[in-house]
Amino acid sequence: MAYDGELVKMQNGRWARFQRCQMYRPGVEDAGETMLLIAVELEERYQALLDSVADSLAQYRRQGIPVQVRMDDVQGVTLQPELAAVSVH
């Protein structure tokens, strides 16, 4: 099961992000709109960034440290502890 915004490495070794897309059926008035969750392959610059972080991510997870990968246009790709793993004192 995937969620909107989730990053995945596909079987072909390329990275994609799940994204919600609205689908409309022309000519069908009572069909309403259908939401689909599709994997959209990322640009080349992100492919290289995610490949480089994948090894670090795997090392953290092997040590039992839950980590999430965040991606944005400003900082690029960052690793951060999963929110459930962070304790506040």
Residue 53 dihedral angles phi and psi, to the nearest 5°: -85, -20
pLDDT at 85 over 50: no
- Contact between residue 79 and residue 68 where contact means Cβ atoms under 8 Å apart: yes
pLDDT at 41 over 90: yes
- Contact between residue 21 and residue 33 where contact means Cβ atoms under 8 Å apart: no
The residues facing 36 across adjacent strands are 21
pLDDT at 6: 83
Would you state the structure tokens that stand for residue 68, as one six-digit string? 């999430």
Per cent of the chain over pLDDT 70 is: 78
- Contact between residue 77 and residue 49 where contact means Cβ atoms under 8 Å apart: yes
Look up the pTM and report it: 0.60
pLDDT at 65: 83
Rounded to whole angstroms, the Cα distance separating 66 from 85 reads 7
